[in-house]
């Protein structure tokens, strides 16, 4: 089948190539499974859900809700949201015309399915490809890779989507919204593929716009404890967040593990100076615990011991959210 007809249906909501930084054989890594066991498995088979980013049909109610959320954004972002939305709606219109025509054309059906499955997946792939050389440099300890605005913009947009594209972010947002407005929660769940991308754009734009106000730090870990990562790799570790409470945080210290030895953190609190900072084992353990608590189901590590150390904390934040909803 020609490439343009191939529907990508296995959608990873955490980049598989990113997880390879925790692999010793460039394929497998240690993780905690849904049942709480520890497995040594391929990065290609985890943090993946069929059709997770597939476009669903949007009616006027969904479109109005998207535009309502978009209207709270700066005008430049509203314009981008609208451009993306119109591009996606063209596929929807094409599908309606085709279905109403009663035509029997397997090739056309396959093209439409491929477009619905691939458009958003391809956008995430573009962000990953832009960030790949930057991540490689950061994993070597070279924070100078972000000295130019273009690279900083690419990386901040990538980080924004690392927050918003995950299943965990979806579950947390929809659970919280449904608590106060069940109808709105259902509208957002149906059209989450667009909301997640829109929110990722907004977060990335905000990180880039505020880059001179906040401290950007590459954390160096030379301790005996490795950094771990999870199915929600980018998390807020600001001290304003309390483990047993559920509310919208007022501030953000964005933490993102790069590899077992390096992590990137953007701090409103200015907890760390900008540049490269070496941290002690106590701090590594503290950050690892927060990664585990904010995970949906999985944490990942280079070594089995790290997974075993934190596996009982996995999902704590989600349990608190569900408890208060």
Of residues 53, 69, 65, the one with CA closest to residue 127? 53
Q: Give 42-55 pLDDT, tens digit per residue.
A: 999 899 999 999 99
Buried b (16+ CB within 10 A) or exposed e, 76-105: ebeebbeebbeebeebbeebeeeeeeeeee
- Neighbouring residues of 167: CB distance < 8 A, sequence distance ≥ 6: 13, 47, 49, 52, 231, 296
The pLDDT of residue 1 is above 60: no
The pLDDT of residue 21 is above 90: yes
Check: pTM over 0.75? Answer yes or no. Answer: yes
User: CB neighbours (10 Å) of residue 258?
Assistant: 24
Burial of 37 (0-12, 13-18, 19+ CB in 10 A): exposed
pLDDT range class, residue 30, cuts 50, 70, 90: very high
Residues present in the chain in total: 325
Q: How far apart are CA 307 and CA 312, in angstroms?
A: 9
The pLDDT of residue 322 is above 80: no
Please check whether residue 324 is in contact with residue 246, taking contact to mean a CB–CB distance below 8 angstroms: yes
Mean pLDDT of 282-302: 96
Q: Give 63-114 pLDDT, tens digit per residue.
A: 999 999 999 999 999 999 999 999 999 999 999 999 898 888 888 889 999 9
What's the Cα-to-Cα distance from 52 to each of 20, 243, 306, rounded to whole Å? 22, 29, 29
Q: What's the number of CA atoms in the CB half-sphere (13 Å) around residue 167?
A: 19
Mean pLDDT of 191-201: 97
pLDDT of residue 159: 98
Mean pLDDT of 103-131: 92
Q: Which two tokens stand for residue 189?
A: 């769940």
Q: Give 214-247 pLDDT, tens digit per residue.
A: 999 999 999 999 999 999 999 999 988 877 666 6
pLDDT of residue 248: 72
Mean pLDDT of 255-277: 97
pLDDT of residue 245: 64
Mean pLDDT of 257-281: 98
């Amino acid at each position: 089948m020609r490439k343009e007809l191939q529907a990508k249906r296995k959608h990873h909501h955490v980049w598989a190539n990113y997880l390879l930084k925790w692999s010793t054989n460039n394929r497998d890594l240690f993780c905690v499974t849904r049942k709480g066991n520890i497995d040594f498995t391929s990065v290609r088979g985890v943090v993946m859900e069929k059709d997770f980013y597939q476009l669903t049909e949007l009616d006027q109610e969904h479109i109005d809700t998207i535009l309502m959320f978009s209207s709270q954004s700066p005008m430049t972002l509203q314009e981008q949201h609208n451009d993306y939305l119109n591009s996606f709606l063209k596929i929807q219109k094409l599908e309606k015309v085709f279905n109403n025509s009663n035509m029997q054309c397997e090739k056309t059906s396959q093209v439409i399915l491929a477009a619905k499955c691939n458009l958003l997946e391809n956008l995430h792939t573009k962000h990953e490809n832009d960030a790949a050389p930057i991540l490689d440099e950061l994993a070597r300890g070279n924070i100078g890779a972000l000295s130019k605005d273009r690279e900083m913009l690419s990386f901040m947009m990538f980080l924004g989507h690392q927050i918003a594209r995950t299943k965990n972010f979806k579950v947390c947002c929809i659970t919280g919204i449904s608590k106060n407005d069940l109808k709105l929660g259902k509208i957002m769940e149906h059209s989450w593929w667009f909301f997640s991308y829109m929110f990722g754009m907004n977060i990335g734009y905000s990180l880039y716009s505020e880059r001179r106000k906040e401290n950007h730090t590459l954390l160096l870990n030379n301790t005996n404890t490795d950094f771990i990562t999870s199915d929600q790799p980018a998390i807020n570790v600001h001290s304003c967040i309390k483990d047993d409470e559920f509310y919208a945080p007022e501030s953000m210290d964005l933490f993102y593990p790069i590899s077992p030895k390096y992590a990137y953190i953007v701090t409103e609190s200015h907890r760390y100076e900008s540049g490269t900072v070496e941290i002690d084992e106590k701090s590594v353990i503290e950050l690892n615990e927060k990664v585990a608590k904010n995970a949906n189901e999985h944490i990942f590590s280079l070594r089995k011991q790290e997974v075993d150390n934190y596996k009982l904390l996995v999902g704590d934040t989600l349990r608190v959210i569900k408890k208060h909803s």
